[in-house]
Amino acid sequence: MLLVPRGEGVETKLIKTSYSTTAGTAYITFDNVKVPVENRLGKEGKGLFVVLSNFNHERWIMCCGSIAGSRMIAEECFKWIHQRKAFGKPLVDLAVLRAKMANMFARIEALQAWLENITYQMCHMTYAEQADLLAGQIGLLKQQCTRVAGEVADDATQIFGGRGLTQSGMGIYIERFQRTQKFDALLGGAEEVLADLGVRQASRKMPKAVL
């Protein structure tokens, strides 16, 4: 793992994405770049471990952000169905929309409880214990967070109708969430990768007595 300073021989070109330029997505080229040996991070041949050492906390933070985003969208939907009227009645009078909100609330609260459970364990474990016992749990939580975020985005767009596609007014947050929530589903490991990690970690801890 090398820390390469921006300088002669290093060129970057912005890659536009559906998310935001703050993600720093870019095409980088190296042309005969020399890197001093003191810029090596970790031990030679062990660069992957530098990346892996941060994964648990990185994914935990992503879970926090994803759940918070889903909760904010649920709040926007709840306000909308009380304010918006159709055929002389507020949308909250429609049972189908109340059912959508109930499912949204239940999924978000379940994720919040799971997150707090894992957070409590992280606060009472050493870093080594976290890596050994919680990597799979955190991976599974992140996978579920982003899956639920996608469902919340779809439900919110249906609740808002055409307003959920506008980039202004009350629909602005719905449109932005629908367009950008997939970023979290890929960052820090795709959903399928994290689901597999969780199962493999569980298999590794399977008591031999039951095999």
Residues 117 and 145 in one domain: yes
182: CATH: 1.20.140.10
My answer on whether 138 and 192 are in the same domain is yes
- The answer to the question of residue 3 being in a domain is no
Q: Answer yes or no: is 4 within a domain.
A: no
- Between CA 39 and CA 150 the distance in angstroms is 40
Whether 134 and 42 share a structural domain = no
Quick check: is 178 in a domain?
yes
Q: Are residues 138 and 189 in the same domain?
A: yes
Angstrom distance (rounded) from CA 134 to CA 129: 8
Say whether both 23 and 98 belong to one domain. Answer: no
Per-residue pLDDT at 24: 84
Q: How far apart are CA 141 and CA 139, in angstroms?
A: 5
In a domain, 26, yes or no: yes
pLDDT value of residue 50: 85
Position 173 in a domain: yes
- Residue 128: inside a domain, yes or no? yes
Counted domains in the chain: 2
Measured in whole angstroms, the distance separating CA 43 from the mean position of its chain's CA atoms is 30
Q: Are residues 74 and 161 in the same domain?
A: yes
32 and 98: one domain?
no
pTM of this structure = 0.86
pLDDT under 50: residue ranges of the chain: none
Do residues 91 and 64 both lie within one domain?
A: yes
Q: Are residues 58 and 40 in the same domain?
A: no
β-partners of residue 10 are 30
- Output the pLDDT for position 194: 95
Q: Is residue 113 part of a domain?
A: yes
91 lies in the same domain as 40? no
**What is the phi-psi region of residue 42: left when phi exceeds 0, alpha when psi lies from -120 to 50, beta otherwise?**
left
Show the beta-strand stretches assigned E in the chain. Answer: 10-14, 26-30, 85-86, 89-90
Residues 111 and 14 in one domain: no
User: Domain residues for 23?
Assistant: 10-48
Residue 1 counted as domain residue: no
For residue 17, what pLDDT is reported? 85
42 with 101, same domain: the answer is no
pLDDT for position 199: 95
Q: What is the pLDDT of residues 20-48, one digit of tens each?
A: 777 788 999 999 999 999 999 989 999 88
